[in-house]
């Protein structure tokens, strides 16, 4: 990563939360969290490259994860103090990468099913949890390659929602998601090439809240089983009745759990609790 050169702002008067959205989404997915936190926190919800109002991604597909990590890390640097990171799915992995590479900028991390795909494949690429994700990526790449972005989008949505959710979307929603399939494919490619290992997660010095859905996919369940035992200061919570899209389908419930963690961290910083 290049050196971060933005000058920091003045020290913030309230805790800063930087929430990173999932693939094919935008910072707007954190509206429920904003409502829960109210005026007690400064909530930043950036759009990642190629999504929302962010610049388009025009680089190699394998390079988008480092680019998004740098984008979020620059925001954390500019916040003027240590931030609390929140992330969902792809955004959850980006948040963890920022925490690993820039620990001095991060007070805590809360993630919902980060998609650490390289860890999943390295653990056992032949087991069903890894096979099903690899098959999804392969078929999506084929569809995007022949400009069948809507078909790629239907595969993507139905896999992660665990149902025929694509058929329930409006035409405008389908069109918006289909338009993001090239950048979503870049996410898959870059995640599978990422070099972050299970051992790296043992280096996280800050508290981590790791949420998983009780009705999620085998792939994200296995990722949690692989990475959470190595995290030294992790609280693992199973959110019953939710799938991988819990922060969207059960936005208020997830936001309440995230807000509880964030208030705890802001009220008693981790360093103070360790010293007590």
- One pLDDT digit (tens) per residue for the chain, 276 residues: 444 444 445 567 899 999 999 999 999 999 999 999 999 999 999 999 999 999 999 999 999 999 999 999 999 999 988 999 999 999 999 999 999 999 999 999 999 999 999 999 999 999 999 999 999 999 999 999 999 999 999 999 999 998 789 999 999 999 999 999 999 999 999 999 999 999 999 999 999 999 999 999 999 999 999 999 999 999 999 999 999 999 999 999 999 999 999 999 999 776 666 655
Q: What is the spatial distance between Cα 86 and Cα 37, in angstroms, rounded to a whole number? A: 13
Kindly state whether residue 259 falls inside one of the protein's structural domains. Answer: yes
Kindly state whether residue 2 falls inside one of the protein's structural domains. Answer: no
Assign residue 38 a region: left if phi > 0, alpha if psi is -120 to 50, beta otherwise? left
Q: Are residues 228 and 138 in the same domain?
A: no
Q: Are residues 98 and 203 in the same domain?
A: yes
pLDDT of residue 271: 64
Number of domains in the chain: 2
Q: Are residues 245 and 262 in the same domain?
A: yes
pLDDT of residue 3: 43
Q: Are residues 179 and 206 in the same domain?
A: no
Cβ contacts of 135-143, under 8 Å, gap ≥ 24: 136/188, 137/185, 137/188, 137/189, 137/192, 140/181, 140/184, 140/185, 140/188, 141/185, 141/188, 143/181
pLDDT of residue 5: 46
Q: Are residues 227 and 134 in the same domain?
A: no
Q: Are residues 160 and 221 in the same domain?
A: no
Q: Are residues 208 and 102 in the same domain?
A: yes
Q: Are residues 36 and 159 in the same domain?
A: no
Where in the sequence is the domain holding 144, given as residue range(s)?
A: 124-188
pLDDT of residue 270: 67
β-bridge partners, 236: 210
Q: Are residues 34 and 110 in the same domain?
A: yes
Kindly state whether residue 174 falls inside one of the protein's structural domains. Answer: yes
pLDDT of residue 84: 98
Q: Are residues 253 and 218 in the same domain?
A: yes
Kindly state whether residue 10 falls inside one of the protein's structural domains. Answer: no
Q: Are residues 108 and 221 in the same domain?
A: yes
Q: Are residues 232 and 130 in the same domain?
A: no
pLDDT of residue 272: 62
């Amino acid at each position: 990563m290049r050196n971060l050169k933005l000058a920091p702002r003045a020290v913030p008067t309230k805790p800063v939360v930087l929430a990173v959205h999932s693939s094919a989404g935008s910072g707007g997915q954190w509206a429920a969290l904003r409502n829960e936190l109210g005026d007690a926190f400064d909530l930043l919800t950036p759009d990642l490259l190629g999504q929302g109002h962010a610049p388009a991604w025009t680089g190699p597909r394998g390079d988008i994860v480092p680019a998004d990590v740098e984008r979020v890390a620059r925001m954390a640097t500019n916040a003027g103090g240590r931030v609390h990171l929140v992330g969902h799915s792809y955004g959850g992995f980006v948040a963890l990468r920022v925490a690993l590479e820039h620990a001095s900028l991060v007070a805590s991390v809360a993630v919902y099913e980060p998609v650490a795909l390289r860890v999943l494949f390295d653990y056992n690429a032949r087991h069903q949890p890894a096979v099903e994700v690899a098959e999804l990526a392969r078929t999506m790449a084929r569809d995007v390659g022949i400009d069948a972005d809507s078909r790629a989008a239907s595969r993507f949505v139905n896999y992660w929602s665990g149902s025929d959710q694509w058929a329930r979307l409006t035409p405008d929603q389908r069109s918006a998601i289909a338009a993001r399939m090239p950048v979503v494919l870049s996410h898959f490619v870059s995640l599978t090439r990422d070099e972050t290992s299970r051992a790296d997660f043992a280096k996280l010095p800050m508290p981590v809240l790791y949420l998983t859905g009780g009705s999620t996919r085998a792939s994200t369940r296995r990722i949690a089983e692989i990475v959470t035992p190595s995290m030294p200061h992790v609280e693992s919570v199973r959110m019953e009745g939710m799938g991988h899209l819990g922060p969207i389908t059960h936005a208020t419930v997830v936001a309440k759990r995230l807000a509880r963690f964030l208030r705890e961290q802001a009220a008693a910083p981790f360093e103070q609790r360790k010293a007590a």
